[in-house]
Every structure is written in C-alpha cells, then in structure tokens.
Structure 1
C-alpha cells in the first residue's frame, strides 16, 4: 500500500494507481472530508476491477457496515456475481433509503452517469457526515439534451466533493492529483514522464495548453507514442 508520508510520484501501472487512489481516499477521510471523488480517466478503462479493490479495502476498514452502490440493477447484479468472495451489501442508486442504512459507516458509488444526478444527490444527503466516495463518475456524459440549469446543478453538486485522486492522460503528458498533494501537470520526455508544474485548483484545458506552451514551447497537438503505450497499459 502507498503511504502518503512517502514521496508520491506519478504511477506507472494500474496496481500502483489503485493503491494510490485508495490511500488518498483514506487520507482525505482522516482530514475530515465526507464527499470524496476518485476519477481515473483512462480510455476504455473497466471500473469494476478497481471498484473491487476499493470494496476489499472497505471490508477491511468497515467490516460489512458499508454499502456499494451502482448506477443500475445490471451493474449491481454483476458486482454481486464478481464479488462473491466479499461480504458486501450491493444496491442500485434508485433504491433510495435502502441504499443508505442507519448502521452504515461509509458508501462507495461506482460510475454514476449524468442521468442519476438527482438520485445521487439525495443519497449523499441521506449519508450526512459519513464518507461517501464516488468512483469514476460519468456525470459529464449525455450533454446532448441536458439543459443549462441541469448542467449548473450538476456542477454545483460536483463542487461539494473533494477530489482525492484524479489522473488523466494528455497529449503531451498527464494531469494528476493525489491528495493531499496539489494538482500536477507532467510532461512526457525522452527520459520518461517528468514533473512540469503544480497548481492549487484543477486547471482547464486552456490553462494546460498555456502551461505547455510556456514551459516547453509545445502545444498539446500530437499524441506521443510512449505516453500512449503507458496509459494503454494502465487502462488494461
């Protein structure tokens, strides 16, 4: 397990990424965060194996006094089959109060979409001051047909979460945050991935473009082969 007292650097495989994400989540909880976001933005990443590692870790910490919540009944049924070795209560996001029991100490919500924003917000409110971890949300999907007021509600809701872990490949590097560290931008070089800069708030795409131009003279225009191989391996 990654210890947050040790120097933390960009991971180079999915196992290290998952360990970092779990350790960062517990550090955020220890510091008082109750709404926690973990987001691994690898193309074609399968969330279920990562969710399993979180579930196994939650079992060790909370025993069976926690809930795993999924966006639909199909995903919940799949988890019940694939997690047969774990003593976990699995619910769908539409189950409301049944998904937030009085005895629960924590909650793990896996891959909700923008369709479930209202239901998710109600679950978070029911959870109160108990840790509620949202893993790989896809709340930015389904923009077509999503009105401006709905997008503003979603963005307001997301702003109440502490991002404990975030990693996303960029065309010239990577955007990464591992709590309690700040947001970091890394660049791919001939010697491998190198730290480029850090910022207090999550940078926008324009911020990242400006940063690459200032630091390297390059724009984020061409995907470097070595980086693509790295993140393809991470996403498997």
Structure 2
C-alpha cells in the first residue's frame, strides 16, 4: 500500500510508491502509512525527536528505522552522566548493519551479520591493513586502547587538529581501497 504523496512533485525514483522527505522537527515527520523511515546523519541535538519517532514506529506492526551515520552522542556537550547513559542505552537497542570507523592507526569495520573487526596499519606494506581482532560486540575505547597499545600517545602534545583530520581521511581512503578489492 502506497501513501498518497504529500506534494504533487514528490519523487518516486522509478518505484510506484513515493519517497517522502521531512525534517525531524516537522510537526509530524512520520505518517502512519510510512512503511520504513530512513534518517540521514541525525545528530545529538535531534535525539529527542529520534526517540519519539522510534517509539511511534515500534507500534503494531513495528516498522524499521534506519539511521545512516548517526551522531547522537557528543562527549563535547556538557550533558550529565545520566543523560549520556540514557543515550547509549537508546542506541544499544539498534543493530549496526554496516559500520566503518577510521582510526589514525587502523580501522574498525562491521558488515552484518559478521563480527566486528579491528584492523591496524601494515607497516611492511603501504596502504594495507592487518586484522588485529574479531569480536561479537562493538569494540569500545578501552578495547581499542588494548589492541593498539596506546599507539597514538607517542608525543606529549599529540597531533594537531589538521594532522588528525588528514590522518582520518587518509585512513578512510586506504581502508576503502582495501575492502573494495
């Protein structure tokens, strides 16, 4: 069953059902007829809206909510421990189906239903990664610190913001080349 388009110029992308777009802050961003909801880069400022939409979608019958590159937790924001804990709990109710997180010394990767994989740079071969560890649960900061052995803490000052950004982009590029082979 396809919902009636909200606008006459609603795109269908070659499908018989229209693809509708809305903002999280719209009065009613999700309709009861919507069969699936995709959120693109929802951030921590919109968490309240995301939680309300997720609750609405869990009605009978439950409908899927897909979040692409969610940024719902920010350690930089001066929010109390309990709020961060609630946000983490909310996010733990989701299943990560695809994740690629570049790191200065490697990357963390998962493609559902596979396990989480932690890779590190191969010092002998440029632009190559070696598998450091596979695990069922998503590795947290402590896991990564143990795996990498504090590789990033070689200097007291640490790398500059520009150097860290360049390192991350370089890591993403190398990792994408490796997994595309």
Q: TM-score, normalised by structure 2?
A: 0.69
Shift of 1:155: 1.2
Equivalent residue runs for 1:7-156 within 5 Å: 86=13, 87-96=18-27, 98-128=28-58, 129-141=62-74, 143-156=76-89
220 and 143 in structure 1: CA distance in 2 versus 1, 3 angstrom threshold: closer
Question: In angstroms, what is the RMSD of aligned CA positions?
Answer: 3.0
170 and 230 in structure 1: CA distance in 2 versus 1, 3 angstrom threshold: closer
221 and 84 in structure 1: CA distance in 2 versus 1, 3 angstrom threshold: farther
1:46 corresponds to which residue? Answer: none
Question: Which has more radius of gyration?
Answer: 2
Q: Which has the higher strand share?
A: 1
1:166 corresponds to which residue? Answer: 99
Separation in 2, partners of 1:226, 1:142: 21
1:173 touches 1:227 (CA, 8 Å); kept in 2? no
Q: 2:118 aligns with which of 177, 185, 188?
A: 185
Instruction: Select the structure with the greater relative contact order (CA < 8 A; seq sep ≥ 6).
Output: 1
Choose 200-209 or 135-144, whichever is displaced more: 135-144
What CA deviation, in whole Å up to 9, does each residue of 1:120-157 have, x standing for no partner?
11101111221100111111237423223321221111
2:109 touches 2:116 (CA, 8 Å); kept in 1? yes
Shift of 1:228: 5.2
Alignment length, in residue pairs?
Answer: 150
Structure 2 regions of 5+ residues with no counterpart?
4-9, 155-162, 177-181
Q: 2:108 aligns with which of 165, 168, 175?
A: 175
Q: Which has the higher helix share?
A: 1
